[in-house]
Structure 1
Amino acid sequence: MKQFSLKDGQRLTIRTAKHEDASNLINYVKKIGGESDYLTFGENEFEITVEKEEELLESFLISDNKLYIIAEIDGKIVGSLNFSGGSRQRTKHTGEFGVSVEKKYWGLGIGRELINYLIDWAEEGDVIKKINLRVREDNKRAIGLYEKLGFKKEGVISRGFFVNDEYYSFICMGLEL
């Protein structure tokens, strides 16, 4: 667990998600699905039972190449990041993450702190040697953050995203550790 002071003075706690967080995480994800067109899911597209979410969270806790963390302010989930490494020996050292922050808290540095936590976790361990991500081509703010944190553009996946009857490309980015 790590604690930070945000730009507005609020205290942020970042910690590993536990199976007891399942219900709150489901509610959080349902809320943010309707707040941004940059996510891989939209409003009402995230359907999972509490039991399945608990199982998922447990699978992250017992793996040496997976991480699921949440950001909280006053005990309320305001952001999350999940990272999954490969399932086979040849790809175990690399994986991809997704990160989200509730819109009300954008611009406070929460996304940066979540990603820094991931990078620190990977560097402290002896498994992960490469962190990857995909970001929508027009999400300039996120791309700028990733570049500041050392991620490099590695390629483009055309028509990888379909929102509001329009296709968007993904930019693939990676950070070698």
Structure 2
Amino acid sequence: MYIDSLEFQRNGLRYLIRSAAEQDAAELSGLRWQIDGETENLERQQGEGFIDGEGFAGMIREDTEASRNLFLVAEVQGRLVGFARCEGNSLSRNAHKVEFGICILQEFWGYGIGYSLLQQATSWADANGVVKISLTVLETNGPAISLYRKFGFETEGILKKDKLLADGTYYSTLMMGRFN
């Protein structure tokens, strides 16, 4: 699915939220690789599950054509600084829901980019009859959990000792959902 570009400004930073385009693919590959190395809040360590530009181009084509998928990017002065994705399912028993994921370069945390990406994703979901948006979040990621709750997400379950982080400790993952 495709949405029009929207401009936002917060804390002195002007940024765009728009649908990903195929010409973003190579930059998205590098962006994801960099973000994976900046935080332990995501599923991967840097370099794991690498997606090259061609892989992102295919994903963008698929998401643009599919009515239950949405791929958004955040852009600052022509540079991609984050992205979010809603991925639906074509199976009839799961067609009512999408899975949401988001990542933003650490230097751009605190500017409301995550809020804006989530706002656009939930607006799109509501306008397109999506009944449920689901996501997972590490228990230690308080700012993300707080943001999700502001948008009506609730904890549906806890996966105990789900992630082993660099400090050698196991942490739980929250499974959250938002219902329309």
Cα separation, 1, equivalents of 2:75 and 2:159:
33
Secondary structure of the equivalent of 2:87?
Answer: strand
Query: What count of residue pairs does the alignment treat as equivalent?
Result: 175
Q: Shift in Å at residue 114 of structure 1?
A: 0.3
Identical aligned residues as a percent: 33
Q: Shift in Å at residue 162 of structure 1?
A: 2.3
Where does residue 162 of structure 1 map in the other structure? 164
Cα separation, 2, equivalents of 1:120 and 1:24:
26
Where does residue 7 of structure 2 map in the other structure? 3
Q: Shift in Å at residue 160 of structure 1?
A: 2.3
Where does residue 140 of structure 1 map in the other structure? 142
Partner amino acid for 2:25? A
Matched, 1:113 2:124: no
Cα separation, 2, equivalents of 1:106 and 1:49:
25
After TM superposition, the score normalised by the length of structure 1 is 0.94
1:18-57 equivalences in 2 (<5 Å): 18-57=21-60
Cα separation, 2, equivalents of 1:161 and 1:95:
23
Q: Shift in Å at residue 159 of structure 1?
A: 2.6
Cα separation, 2, equivalents of 1:66 and 1:85:
5
Contact 2:26 2:54 in 1 (8 A): no
Per-residue Cα deviation, 1:49-72 (whole angstroms, up to 9, x for no partner) = 322221111111110111110000
Cα separation, 2, equivalents of 1:32 and 1:66:
22
Instruction: Give the CA RMSD over aligned residues.
Output: 1.2
Contact 1:30 1:46 in 2 (8 A): no
Where does residue 100 of structure 1 map in the other structure? 103
Structure 2 residues not aligned, in runs of 5+ = none
Structure 1 residues not aligned, in runs of 5+ = none
Cα separation, 1, equivalents of 2:68 and 2:161:
29
Q: Shift in Å at residue 41 of structure 1?
A: 1.1
Secondary structure of the equivalent of 2:133?
Answer: strand
Where does residue 70 of structure 2 map in the other structure? 67
Secondary structure of the equivalent of 1:37?
Answer: coil
